[in-house]
Amino acid sequence: MSFVLRRMQPEDLPAGYRLTQMMHWPHRPEDWQQAFSLGEGVVAVVQQQIVGCALVWRWGVQRSTLGLVIVDPAHQGTGMGKAMIGALLEQVSGTSVRLHATEAGQGLYQKFGFTAHGTVHQHQCARLPVFSPPVLGAREQIRPLQAGELAQIIEFDQQAHGLYRPTLYQQLLTTEGLWVLEQQGQIEGFVCLRKFGHGYQAGPLIARNERGARQLFSHCAASLAGEFLRIDTHGDSLFSEWLTACGLAIVDTPLLMIRGVPPEKTRGGMLDFGFMTQAMG
């Protein structure tokens, strides 16, 4: 059966939500609204019904992320996913594109020139155990981000993984909780704790080192005993091992894939320990 692709519109969001529910993904309608407000997408239509979708986010002039690629199981194998991905890659032509792929989807993305760059560990706990507040030194504190510090954390975010996301952080500053780790008067990391999916998600989480990442995560977790908490992080890290030991099990291990030039790490610079979402990086 043939399909038609068209640009995603705001009125298509309930259909996108329905598709994620069909795949047993945790996204709420509010999560869809946020994702669409920051990106752009396409939908696949068969007989006036939306049966597929995919979104892309432009983060500056050099980098993009691709995600929320879904095809109704009844229409898989028709070339729909390939068509949607191809259409979105044309829209962000000239940028390096990052995504997180299931093992089953790896082959399709490789045909578009994506290569694997490690795994991602999705950690979560349905009822978080009691976390002790982080141990802080004499000249350390974790405090709310001030509006005047927004440009600095946008720079730190880009330093960690190459994504330039001012629109994201402007939105998070007004709607979510952003916390910074201050050491000797300098910001050495930050985290956003926000509602997402089945409960809460910690991320983005950016820090200079693993110690700072643990402090920021512990600050979030200490207020959420008994709640659902999720964080997505790099699989080849001691931080992931620590999360597992703290009771946040690994429930999914997608592949991090990049089409184009991978970001270069700045020596001594910030590192990404927690993603915004798998779709938005």
From 120-134, 208-222, 254-268, the region with the lowest mean pLDDT? 254-268
pLDDT at 176: 86
pLDDT over threshold 90, residue 197: yes
CB 258 within 8 Å of CB 97? yes
pLDDT at 104: 80
Mean pLDDT of the chain: 97
CB 174 within 8 Å of CB 210? no
Q: Where are the domains of the chain?
A: 4-94, 123-274
Helix (H) / strand (E) containing 152: helix 150-161
Q: Is 73 left (phi over 0), alpha (psi -120 to 50) or beta?
A: alpha
CB 148 within 8 Å of CB 264? no
- CATH match for 123-274 among 3.40.630.30, 3.30.420.40, 3.40.30.10, 1.20.58.1910: 3.40.630.30
Q: Architecture of domain 4-94 in CATH? A: 3-Layer(aba) Sandwich (3.40)
Helix (H) / strand (E) containing 43: strand 40-46
Q: How far apart are the first and last CA of the chain?
A: 34
Measured between alpha carbons, how far is 203 from 281 in angstroms, rounded to an integer? Answer: 10
CA distances from 155 to 57, 161, 178, 187, 271 (A): 18, 10, 15, 12, 12
**Crossing angle of the two packed helices 150-161 and 166-175, in degrees rounded to 10:** 130
- Residue 159 burial (10 A CB sphere; 0-12, 13-18, 19+): middle
Residue 140: which pLDDT band, with cuts at 50, 70 and 90? very high
pLDDT at 171: 96
pLDDT at 267: 82
Mean pLDDT of 166-185: 95
Mean pLDDT of 72-85: 96
pLDDT at 132: 93
The proportion of the chain whose per-residue pLDDT surpasses 90, expressed as a percent, equals 95
**175/274: higher pLDDT:** 274
Q: Can you tell me whether residue 150 is helix, strand or coil?
A: helix
pLDDT over threshold 90, residue 184: yes
pLDDT over threshold 80, residue 1: no
pLDDT at 30: 98
**268/97: higher pLDDT:** 97
Fold match flag (4-94 vs 123-274): yes
pLDDT over threshold 90, residue 225: yes
pTM score, two decimals?
Answer: 0.96
pLDDT at 15: 98
